[in-house]
Structure 1
């Protein structure tokens, strides 16, 4: 009887010790930790937004009046400032690199967008018939850029700045009548400049992110040739312009490092 009791006690002690060891193992087992998001990789995406331009056009009055009356007919200088605005729709692509064990991200990006920025202003023609005006129409039809960017990552949220080269596709028209004769001067220009901007990118999935961005485009002052094909006139016009764009986009990330 004593031997049987001793055997039961020994078995109970072994079972109790095994349970305690298993409990210790369960407590000490490390919980899995999700790896932080890594921005290293390439991406491609689309964006949509709004653009606001400022264009100072000098001097469409002289262009018209001197074409009809001869050089030097116009004494005063006139600047017309249409403010085109409209939508921008396009795409972007690029590659980023996040330094090991660091939140710093560097990259390069290319953007291309069609634009519907357009506006016009009327200006009087003092040497013409009373009430005659010229309508100055300005349009920006596309914007492209190649930029470098640098950012600071808070896991799957990236704050970044960007800067680089840009180009705008512009069209101009100066139309109306002068001393009763219709005229229609047109100008076409692809203008190079610079751009700088900033934004925030949120990776809501391993391969997808959404971003909000502001960009400023500076194109300085350039002289363009406006031509009236019907009257066989042409002349130089100075245009100073800048554009601001606010946009949202979605990117698909490929070969991500996470």
Structure 2
């Protein structure tokens, strides 16, 4: 009996092999696209602009009725926006203010009885847009589609003071249209992200007339396409 008690007491005094409980693993919060951001962008722009002669027996285009210019150049500017993530879906709004170097001109585009050599010129100095964005987040990778309204300062005109009927005639410099496109964005860390994006812009056709005994009408058509990359800082 005494030996049993002694054996139990000896076992109680032996060191235990159990160590301290393991430290809990840190909980990593899932990445979220929700928040405001600002950034910059740079890329290339393609700006098809055409003018069509709609009537008048003294005037016509040598190529059969329409002359088209295709200005290309560099585009760059600033953007800002806000995203809100719901599970894997990301909705947001973004605005841009960009300038471009797209510009082109061609002389002698009209035939007929006029004595001048009219010049067709087109350019897209700058534009601003306001767009909605819809995407599906794969953690830090965000493909999206986007669309909205675009406001542009653009040139599309015929000019020559020596031509009959009197020129210049132009669509006007201010244009409001629509834009649609898509892109992908990748978050480098919790603040910085990079993106690549394509946008198509379409502006309403405009018909303008000049009078020199008779009325001569011209239709102006303008659109633009751009591809760019950007860098955003998210707050």
How far residue 94 of structure 1 moved from its aligned partner, in angstroms, is 1.1
**Deviation per residue, 1:120-166 (Å, 9 max, x gap):** 2331423245xx63221101111111111111001111111111111
- In structure 2, the residue matched to 1:138 is 122
For residues 94-243 of structure 1, what are the structure 2 equivalents within 5 Å? 94-99=81-86, 102-122=87-107, 123-128=109-114, 133-176=117-160, 178=162, 185=168, 187=170, 188-224=172-208, 237-243=218-224
**Deviation per residue, 1:66-122 (Å, 9 max, x gap):** xxxxx65336772110001111111111111111xx100111111111111111233
- In structure 1, the residue matched to 2:77 is 90
Whether 1:52 aligns to 2:37 is: no
- Kept in 1, the 8 Å contact 2:84–2:91? The answer is yes
Instruction: Specify whether residues 177 and 191 from structure 1 end up closer, same or farther in structure 2 by C-alpha distance, changes over 3 A only.
Output: closer
How far residue 58 of structure 1 moved from its aligned partner, in angstroms, is 1.6
- Kept in 2, the 8 Å contact 1:171–1:186? The answer is no
How far residue 4 of structure 1 moved from its aligned partner, in angstroms, is 9.9
Q: Which secondary structure does the structure 1 equivalent of 2:101 belong to?
A: strand
Distance, in Å, in 1 between the alignment partners of 2:210 and 2:151 is 20
Unpaired runs of at least 5, structure 2: none
Q: Which secondary structure does the structure 1 equivalent of 2:118 belong to?
A: strand
Q: Which has the higher helix share?
A: 1
Query: How many residue pairs align between the two structures?
Result: 224
Distance, in Å, in 2 between the alignment partners of 1:226 and 1:153 is 54
Distance, in Å, in 2 between the alignment partners of 1:124 and 1:95 is 49
How far residue 30 of structure 1 moved from its aligned partner, in angstroms, is 3.8
- Kept in 1, the 8 Å contact 2:49–2:156? The answer is no
- Kept in 1, the 8 Å contact 2:60–2:112? The answer is no
CA RMSD, Structure 1 to Structure 2 (Å): 3.1
Q: TM-score, normalised by structure 1?
A: 0.75
Unpaired runs of at least 5, structure 1: 63-70, 228-233
- Kept in 2, the 8 Å contact 1:173–1:184? The answer is no
How far residue 21 of structure 1 moved from its aligned partner, in angstroms, is 4.2
